Amino acid sequence: MERENQFIGQSGAFLDAVERASRAAPMRRPVLVIGERGTGKELIAERLHRLSTRWDEPLVTMNCAALPETLIEAELFGHEAGAFTGATKQRVGRFEEADKGTLFLDELGTLSMGAQERLLRAVEYGEVTRIGSSRPVRVDVRIVAATNEDLPEKAACGEFRADLLDRLSFEVITLPPLRVREGDVEVLAEYFGRRMAAELGWEGWPGFAPHVTEQMVAHDWPGNVRELRNVVERAVYRWGDWHDPIGHAQFDPFDSPWKPVSPPKRPPQAAPAATGASAAQGAGPDFEHIDDLRVAVDDHEKAIVEHALGRHRWNQRQTARALGLSYDQLRHCIKKHGLMQEAD
């Protein structure tokens, strides 16, 4: 399998972010990468390193949210033997490991104030001091940091050091979420789909049925590219037939008629109790902008039938049973909405 470090996309917003990273790469200054989860912050950090003059030196990564607060400083700056309970031998920190190279600090916004203070000194003076030592060590490290939090807002609230933010924000690259990357959903879905088909040993790539592509384009993708990759790869391996276009994609992997149901919470007395489909599905369709009731009902019916057909691999008898229809009623719906060719 090829490494998952490629930039796939064609939208202007995405290409602008990649171009900014390319221009900043040769600089020795810190770079702050901002973006929602799954937008590719790690890939930008790797690009900044590989296109810099430090490309043949270490790229050291540390997820600041993956360690308890008591260990973060020891991980960053190292410690001497006996510096604290459990420190049986000397250990260098991530700064010393990344000397002459790049240190990527992911989830920067989770750093404690104490760690921020020591990080500020390391950035400003190029020196780190191991825990339990009084002798500073000189390091030459280029810092790339990433977060999905609003650091200026946190600094204004006193939750993040403003002086550290000033040092790290020489260049700020903000990655666009997938929902605003026009045309990239189709490109990424095709890429991940073909890659999964090759992994499964398929002899060809059938592509996606038109209604599945429409569903992907319309989806909000809160998990961005990472979520899209999971949805596409899951759809391909579950379909299992490379002769026919993939006709169903499950966006919520936890969606099941047998999933555990939490006990209902008693709603506040001031709030009206939700009933029927609106209670099960959350917010309903936008009733304020319906100007043709018959067309709106037909569109809703078509979407339901398409989804059910895809879920049951276009087996019309299974689909009819799932929807509580007779076989003839389902055939009538298929013909009515122009789905006959796909169903056949």
Token pair 């939208």 in the structure block, residue:
11
Q: Do the beta carbons of residue 48 and residue 24 sit within 8 Å? A: yes
List Cα–Cα distances, 333 to 239, 302, 321, 344, in angstroms.
24, 8, 14, 14
| pLDDT on residue 257 | 77
Residue type, 236: V
Tell the residue number behind the tokens 């990239």, with chain if given: 184
pLDDT reported for residue 222 = 95
Q: Give the bridge partners for 146, in sequence order.
A: 33
Q: Which domains does the chain have, with CATH numbers?
A: 12-176 (3.40.50.300), 180-258+291-343 (1.10.8.60)
Q: What is the pLDDT of residue 272?
A: 47
**What stretches of the chain show up as alpha helix (H) in DSSP?**
12-24, 41-50, 69-77, 94-97, 113-125, 151-156, 162-168, 184-200, 210-218, 224-239, 276-281, 293-311, 316-323, 327-336, 340-343
Q: In which residue are the tokens 């790539």 written?
A: 205
pLDDT tens track of the chain, all 344 residues? 344 557 899 999 999 999 999 999 999 999 999 999 999 999 999 999 999 999 999 999 999 988 887 788 888 888 877 677 666 688 888 999 999 999 999 999 999 898 899 899 899 989 888 888 888 889 999 999 999 999 999 999 999 999 999 999 999 999 999 999 999 999 999 999 999 999 999 999 999 999 999 999 999 999 999 999 999 999 999 998 889 999 999 999 998 878 787 777 666 655 444 444 343 344 455 666 777 777 778 888 888 888 887 777 677 877 888 888 887 788 888 887 777 645 44
Q: Which residues of 73-97 are buried (b: 16+ CB within 10 A; e: fewer)?
A: bbbbbbbbeebeeebeeebebbbbe
pTM of the complete model: 0.74
Q: How far is CA 74 from the centre of its chain?
A: 29
β-partners of residue 312 are none
Residues contacting residue 112 through CB under 8 Å, at least 6 positions apart: 69, 72
Q: Is 6 helix (H, G, I), strand (E, B) or coil?
A: coil
Query: How much is the pLDDT for 332?
Result: 81
The tally of CA atoms less than 13 A away on the side-chain side of residue 165 is 17
3-state secondary structure at position 327:
helix
Alpha carbon distance 52, 62 (integer Å): 20
What is the distance of C-alpha 283 from the center of its chain? 24
How far is it, in rounded angstroms, from Cα 110 to Cα 159? 10
3-class SS letters over 142-175: EEEEEECCCHHHHHHCCCCCHHHHHHHCCEEEEC
Contacts of 103 (CB under 8 A, 6+ apart): 60, 62, 94, 95, 141, 142, 143, 144
How far, CA to CA in Å, does 217 sit from each of 5, 38, 176, 178, 229? Answer: 23, 17, 16, 10, 14
pLDDT of residue 282: 40
Closest CA to 282 of 252, 248, 305, 306: 252
List all residues 6 or more positions away from 289 whose beta carbon is below 8 Å from its beta carbon: none
pLDDT of residue 74: 85
Under 8 Å between Cβ of 311 and 255: no
The answer to whether 329 and 320 have CB atoms below 8 angstroms apart is yes
Please tell me the distance from the alpha carbon of residue 9 to that of residue 17, in angstroms, as a whole number: 11
Residue 276: per-residue pLDDT: 41
pLDDT, tens digit, 9 for 90 and up, residues 304-321: 888 887 777 677 877 888
